[in-house]
Structure 1
Amino acid sequence: MMIDRLARPRYLMVLWLSGCIALSGATWLCFRLGLDLSATGFVFLIVIVLLSLMDSLISSIVFSIFALSCLNYFFAEPLFSFQITYARDLLALAAFLITSLAITTLVRHIRRLGNAQREQARLLDLAHDTVFVRDMSDVITYWNRGAEELYGWKKREALGKTSHDLLQTRFPTPLDEINETLLRTGSWEGELVHTKRDGVNVIVGSRWSLQQSESGRPLAILETNIDMTEHKRAEEALRRNQAQYLAEAQALSLSGSFGWNVSRGEIFWSDQSFRIFEYDGETTPTIEMALARTHPDDVAFVRQMIDQAAQTGQDFDYEHRLLMPGGSIKHLHVVAHAVRDDHAIRRFVGAIMDVTAARLAERQLREVQAELAHVTRLTALGELSASIAHEVTQPLAAIVTNGEACLRWLGHPIPSPEEVQACVERMIVDGKRAAEIVRRVRQLTRKGVSQKVHLDLNDVISDAVSLVQHELLSHRVSLRLKLSPELPPLFADRIELQQVILNLVINGIQAMDALSGRPRELLIETLRDEQGYAVVAVHDAGSGIKPETANRLFKPFFTTKPNGMGMGLSICRSIIEAHGGRVWASNHASQDAVFQFSLPPTNVNESC
């Protein structure tokens, strides 16, 4: 710091001394040549301007005052005196001083501007981005080092050339539109394709800035470009990888994608969509191609869905079947989302999922569930065999008794046709009763798919209860029915609901085997809940449900019975859920166990 403080004064002393010597030499020369005051002042101005370039305003003032003194002493009347005789000389000296200060100030300002421009140019040369300036005729007036490195042309080769011709620029939109935007907003941004000196194309992110005069007149265009070639290649490679991964993922998931421009009638299919429909990927997909593969029974439905989507522009989600040329059948799940843009062009983007395997698995699952339900029904009938035998034996015994009575009446000396008729009528009633019991048992033992019909839940309960009368008597259980007459009509499978009720009743009876000290009572109650569902509740007077087993009651193979299979309650849940309802168990306020299930009314169930 000390060296810097000393260097400045030394520099000024040397400069001022040199400047005064130069002005003194100019004074001597002008005096010998006999120049007047005006001519000498002009010479002094040249010397002062040259000296002012070497320092600040203070030096310019020093030199101007020294030059003014020389002019007054050697060239103004009287000579060799600082007095001024004529007013014109005074005005000339004042004009010299003002002109000298004004010119030196202007020169220093121009010098600073030049230094700033040189510094800016140096900084622009250090930048890696390409920067060049072109006039309004697109002629290049500045070309930085970054432009030399990117494009290959040196500054001397590029200056004076038309930029778009030199770089063979390819524009994303017409040049007239770009220039219109530039003149209107003062800037423009976009991507351009330029050709380098070696003929290689390069993609640049370009920004144009309009340079204007103070009056707003366009002067030049500053263009800065960033090389985006590698970035674009990386993006393209990423897109290819994503497309490859997407294609592999779709192939693994058996899901294809599609696009549908309704306004233009254009359809796009992914590779997996072509594979699902078994068409060549080189063909152009159409709606008729999809309908040609659609199962004949589903063509009308699919066409209706397509027409509805085209008219309303709403999302759609449906399933249908395909009948392939080889005779195989595929199940498809089609879902699409509507996409709308500013031009109100109606388009859809969707997915096509081959759910054939899932539907086959569901069918096999239903068959297995039906098999298990059949086994549990047979198991329940095995447990009820004594009760069924008792129920059948009663009408058969009554038939025998009435038959014997008929014989006795017919053997009287005076036959009584009225008594014989009464006995025969009772025999017919008992025979129908036995036949009805056999019919119900046969229904429960039959094996087949679910057959839903409109039914009354109270009637189903009454039919099921008639098969457990002997079981109730043998276990000393009293049955109480509390059936609501306000139940909604149901659309369900009668046999499957009977199976659920039988399982719950038998479980309730067996739960009270160890009960002593209080009545063994079983209550079957029906009601209609707030949602309009039909609810069945089976209450027993047993020891209730243990907390540790409450969450496992309806799981397969879980049982609390020594010889149980653990499938009864699980199948009950499957049956009820297949009907759109739910089943649950809880302890009543008196610690009695309550098993309940709810079923939706006909309109809710059918809509599902």
Structure 2
Amino acid sequence: MFNQLTTLERSGTQFILGSITLAAVTLASLYVHSPFAATAFAYLVVILLFALMGSFIASLALSILSVATLAYVFTPPTFSPRIDDPQDLLVVVAFLTASIVGTHLIGKIRHKWEFARETAAKLRHSAADLHTREKLWRAIFEHNPAMYFMVDEAGTVLNVNTFGATQLGYTPVELIGLSVLQVFPKNDHELVSKCIGSCFTDIGQARTWDIQKIRKDGSVLWVRENAKAMLWAEDKPIVLIACEDITEQKRTGLALQRSEAHLAQAQELSHTGSFGWNAAGEVFWSKENFRLFGYDPDVKPTPQHVLDRTHPEDKASVQETLDRASRGEDFEHEYRLLMPDGSIKHIHALARATRTASGDVEFVGAAIDITAAKQTERQLRRSEAYLADAQQLSRTGTWAWDCHRRCFAYRSVEVSRLFGFDPEEPVTLEAIRSRIHPDDLPLQQEVQRRAIEQKSGNFEYDFRICLPDGAIRHIHAIAHAVLGSDGSTVELIGTHIDITEQHAARERLESTLAALRESEQRFRDYAETASDWLWETGPDHRLTLSEHTSATGLLATGAIGLPRWEIACDVEEEPEKWRQHRARLNAHLPFRDLIYRTISATGTAIYFRTSGKPFFDESGNFRGYRGVATDITAKIRADQAEQELRKAQADLAHVTRVTTLGELTASIAHEVNQPLAAIISNADACLGWIGRETPDVAGARRSVEWIIEDAMRASEVIRRVRTLAKKGDIERVALDINEVVNEAIALVTRELVNHQVTLRTELAPTLPAILGDRVQLQQVIINLVMNGIEAMQAVDDRTRELVVQSSKDNNGRVQLSVSDCGGGIAEDDRVRILDPFFTTKSTGLGMGLSICRSIIEAHGGRLSIVRKQEPGATFRFALPVAP
């Protein structure tokens, strides 16, 4: 309404002013006698000018007033509204039309100009408002205590607030234009790119993630990033990222998680679950407790759950413990769990009663899975049984003699067996001495006396045991002195090894070798006197001619007229061979190297190798066969003898191995007793850790781990002994010579210590594999090492050092040498030192080095003695590389 009144007022003012102006123009035109057209033009100008003032109605009224004035004053007849001249009427109509159209157009132009002016004013106002808001937003962006980043699709930083840049140790200028990935760890770049990319995929959708950022100085801070993509200038998308510093929150959370994880892991590693039990009957279990009892963590535990898992045989004791606990008494007991899968767990539970502020009794305790400890205890007992079995298998008894009390401080079961006594019955010293051969008793007493007086080194002697049934046992004894704090001998510790079989084997070997030499000479005579002989058969394949048949032991009269398969005595044993032979004869084809066996006139088996060719008459008719035969009995029997010799050598090698094991029994017993003693010590320590008022679970676990390691050490020693004691066929496999050396040295380590010998190994790395039998090669190395130890017993003026070296020789073979610094080998003995039964030791058999040479040669190698300038001797062997 107000706007309408304002418009009418402005239109009235415009009309009044316009009317005054038109009156002035009229008076002026009348005064100057202006023509009609000029006056009309002047009126039109006035109307158009006043049209610019903005009122179309006032301009229209002025146009009508002008037409009336023109018609009344300036067109004839004058001062009359009538127009007589058509031309004037046309001018008046044109004037009215022009004024109305012009007024309308000027009104539209003025309206547009006013609209444009208003629009410009609004734009100026909006620009000012935008500038104000921009200043406000920039102030908020720059000084807000949060980190803001503006990133484009390429990951380039478009803008960053001062606070954010300062938090990272940069200025905004340093970060703008760089990749946003620069402030993130490299391993998080892919994650950051993926998160920013997801924002561009869904513009307008806010996303949040936690991540680490790297400051300029390399330190790390955790932030929670809230990001949203939006369209920016020219509709280009950008991502605005607001970052909240959550470093302390993360550290606190991680510390809490780590603490909880460490507690859970400690319980899991120690197999210990914790529990609580209050007067209201509520039971609280740790995660490990649920795992121990095999329940889902979502189950609400009760005492009944414990009873449900308890082994039927232990339920009564567990129920009694629970009843005692309900009366407020502390408890500690062991029981078994019968799990759903049928397995058995051993649990050690203990709890202490405490009183809360309200006076109620509450239990806090722990349940420890001691199944592994129980298994270790069983393994320990099993190891002790293995040791007893090893002594029984190797027929080796161990003993300790108390020099002050003059009685046995310890005697293994096997010692009683060796002397023919029942291990379960007590045996007196006089009864034992009564079983020793009278001729050997003074020697034994003398050796013991020397051992007590000399106080160092090993003492070895052999004696015989006379059993009640008249049988004789040969015993090899090894002993050494144990000194007390005052330097006197307090004990003798030693072993008795039954070498009866070795003694008998040596006698059998000597007789076998004598028989073999005789047999070899007999076969050599046969070979030297034998020669090929000719034969001929007829068309029916019966023998018609046999030259020098008597020389082979086959009677000529008995062979003539018989086919070959009737002379042979292996037709039924090898029917296929004879079927093929007769088929070739029937086809009249030549044959070569047919070997068959027959019986000589003396009744012994002889072997022939024969070849034949068919012959025909002039008409081409088959006439028979002609050929040559050779007596190969000597060769066949030599091969059989060689096989028997190899078997005898293998038996002798086994006997030597067992003998060596007997010599090493003290070392083996020490190697086993050492981990067993450690096991006992660690078991006592474990009981001490667990028996504390607050059990030291970590200490108990360490003790159990050491028990397991020592048990495995003892088991490994027993495994090596059983491997060397085993008798079986040669097994050729690819071997690393360095591994074989280390395994062999492990069995003689104690001998090295007892004889004060320093072992130095120089084993070349990355040697090619060889093809051989592990046990036989270990036997060779042990023999060479033991020979070196014995060769240095008399050395007092220099360090007793034994050197074992492995390398490749010039021919690409794997080479191993054992060097000592003893007295060396005399030139006269160097040629025969590898021969059987040759020895430089007073108690030696002379078979050790001979067996070593046989084993190495059977492996395609060669054992030799190396000449050297310094004292001592070096034995070296080289073996071909495995194909």
Q: What is the TM-score of this pair, normalised by structure 1?
A: 0.47
TM-score by length of 2: 0.33
Q: Which structure is larger by alpha-carbon Rg, 1 or 2?
A: 2
Structure with more relative contact order (C-alpha pairs < 8 Å, separation 6 or more): 1
